């Protein structure tokens, strides 16, 4: 059953992230060699996809009236701490946040949802003992966020890392919906690294006249 709508951003983000993680788990079961009931799993994915659409609508509706300005480093730092707390396996996380107090011209809740999703995908690729690096920087045209993931053993299949490119397409479409850019490098294969780069527009100067 789809949970009732909640106007609180924290609750909405948690619902959205939980829905995405359940879709990932269903896809992993469907594509796994030991899939015993693919029709039931496929139907579950369809149900989750419908729920995902509703959750995205909730976030967009609740964020509609909010200011389109946010401090990227502060949001990324909080998302990294939350991702580490929910990680199922130990891994190395390195951060280099250099955007400072520069403001991005996007809704903070949109950005938080996108960063949470990107970190989930990167952690899935890195697996136990792997490494995830997160960096931000400011250029003349944008604020850039780069997330890269590398496995400890390139020949070892990390649980949940399969088909990352396909699973990241929803992130790419979501970011494009609010004028950001999302680039994916690598497909999560055994010998590949995996990277997600977000480009966020600078916030326009406030008119104080």
pTM: 0.73
Annotation: CATH topology of 67-209:
Heat Shock Protein 90 (3.30.565)
Residue-level pLDDT at 9:
59
Report the chain's mean pLDDT, rounded to a whole number. Answer: 77
Confidence bin at 69 (pLDDT 50/70/90): confident
Residue 103 pLDDT > 70? yes
Q: How confident is the model at residue 6 (pLDDT cuts 50, 70, 90)?
A: very low
Residue spans of the domains in the chain: they are 1-65, 67-209
Are 114 and 76 in contact by the 8 Å Cβ rule? The answer is no
């Amino acid at each position: 059953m789809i949970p009732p709508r909640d106007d609180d951003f924290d609750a909405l983000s948690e619902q959205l992230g939980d829905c995405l993680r359940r879709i990932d788990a269903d896809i992993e079961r469907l594509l796994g060699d030991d899939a015993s009931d693919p029709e039931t799993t496929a139907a579950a994915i369809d149900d989750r996809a419908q729920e995902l659409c509703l959750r995205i609508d909730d976030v967009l509706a609740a964020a509609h009236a909010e200011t389109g300005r946010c401090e990227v480093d502060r949001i990324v730092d909080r998302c990294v701490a939350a991702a580490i707390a929910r990680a199922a396996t130990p891994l190395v996380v390195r951060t280099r946040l250099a955007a400072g107090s520069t403001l991005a011209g996007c809704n903070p809740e949109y950005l938080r949802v996108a960063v949470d999703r990107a970190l989930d995908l990167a952690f899935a690729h890195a697996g136990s003992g792997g490494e995830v690096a997160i960096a931000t920087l400011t250029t003349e045209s944008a604020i850039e966020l780069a997330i890269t993931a590398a496995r400890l053993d390139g020949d070892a299949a990390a649980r949940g890392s399969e088909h990352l490119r396909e699973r990241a397409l929803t992130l790419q479409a979501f970011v494009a919906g609010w004028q950001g850019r999302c680039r994916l490098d690598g497909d999560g294969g055994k010998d590949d690294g995996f990277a997600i780069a977000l480009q966020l527009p600078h916030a326009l100067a406030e008119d104080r006249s």
